[in-house]
Amino acid sequence: MTAVLDTAPPPPRPGALPPLRLGALTVDPAVVLAPMAGITGPAFRTLCREFGAGLYVCEMITTRALVERNEKTLRMVRATTEEHDAFSVQLYGTDPATVGRAVEMLVDECVAGTRPAHVDLNFGCPVPKVTRKGGGSALPWRRRLFADIVAAAVRAARDVPVTVKTRIGIDPEHHTYLDAGRIAADAGAAAITLHGRTADQLYSGTADWSYISRLVEAVDIPVLGNGDVWEADDALRMVAETGCAGVVVGRGCLGRPWLFGDLAAAFAGSAQRALPTFGEVAAVMHRHATLLADEHGEAHGCADFRKHVAWYTKGFSVGSEVRRALAMVSSLDELAGLLARVEDQPYPTAVLGAPRGRTSSPRPVALPEGWLDDRDDPRPPAGAELEVSGG
């Protein structure tokens, strides 16, 4: 069974958005797959690339684990054959020296199997195990430390473009995005991505794109918008409302890798959008599981695929028995047999534009003791990278 969904757009009208330029790298269309833990490994990146468009970033890589040559991390950072011209890595780090060394390993030693075309720095992660150590979306509050990390990465990367991803701030009283944008630009970053939420919002509520507009006005490097891009028309609206140079898509593509075909069409000026039948979705599901099986072995690959089942089947009439069996699938033949039991049906348009993936309630951000006291303290937070080492 192979992916047969036809997303080829008709001849485009004049482009709705020009290509994104990141140093010598051209991203056309200006669409980036956001790193998602446990999701954006080689299989999912390959599948998204097959539907076409933009830049596809691997799962977040911990710089300490990379420098220590952690075996799991070295596997995670390997490029596929198809990615050799545009492999993109996102790094998490809190110590300038360690971040610089990690970038050197990627650029000079090619530990990913190829020299990356792009390096992104994560300053947007809001999860407590990261922020309580001063990392992720907590770190830009310490302006000097943030500047030192970005500068170290840019120096080590040389001609490879370095970008930064961040959030509005820690909470409504502690915004960081404007300082982060200006500092990143001064340090030589090629672009900055802004998720339109504060860290205390996690993934709750609605992303506020007005902050993306303000950042566009404040810096002279490209700003990419992130947050609540569920459909291609959301991306068009984000660009129109904010003036951003491109979009970064995360949860919106879960169970819908063909969204990248829609985005490519939209930014080429085409109104074509994919509404695959269940039979076409089933072919994509089997292709996804096959890629995972090729990567991890059939048993492990099928087990890893299980988390994607609910996203792919959202809104379809599948039946509780088949749905339960799909969530416990253990072989490709079993998957094919179960999918064949589901009657073909039109795409459930009721789910279009609806949130996908993780949701959460707002909660106070866990921070190191005294973290908010001195914004110009340049010292790395103690133990922050060791806390999340191993990938």
Token digits of residue 185: 């630009």
Per the CB < 8 A criterion, the answer to whether 237 and 260 are in contact is no
Segments in 259-377 forming alpha helices (H): 259-267, 278-296, 298-313, 320-326, 332-340
Q: State how far the Cα of 123 lies from the Cα of 137, in Å rounded to an integer.
A: 5
48 as an active site residue: the answer is: no
**For residue 108, what are the contacts with CB-CB under 8 A and spacing of at least 6?**
none
Q: Look up residue 126 and give its amino acid.
A: P
Query: Got the DSSP string for 105-135?
Result: HHHHS-TTSS--SEEEEEE----HHHHTTT-
**For residue 75, what are the contacts with CB-CB under 8 A and spacing of at least 6?**
none
Question: Which one, of 19, 92, 41, 86, lies nearest residue 264 by Cα?
Answer: 19
Question: Which of 58, 125, 253, 302 is labelled catalytic?
Answer: 125
Range 163-192 burial, b when 16+ CB lie within 10 A, else e: bbbbbbbbeeebbbbbbbbbbbbebbbbbb
Per the CB < 8 A criterion, the answer to whether 284 and 253 are in contact is no
Query: Got the DSSP string for 1-36?
Result: -------PPPSP-S-SSPPEEETTEEESSSEEEPP-
Tell me the binding residues: 35-37, 90, 165, 195, 250-251
Q: Quick one: which H or E segment has residue 179? A: helix 177-187
Eight-class DSSP state of 198: -
Token digits of residue 72: 């799991």
Tell me the binding residues for FMN: 35-37, 90, 165, 195, 250-251
Cis peptide before 380 (omega within 30 of 0): no
| Tokens 């348009």 found at | 349
Beta bridge partners of 25: 22
Q: State how far the Cα of 106 lies from the Cα of 104, in Å rounded to an integer.
A: 5
Active site residues: 125
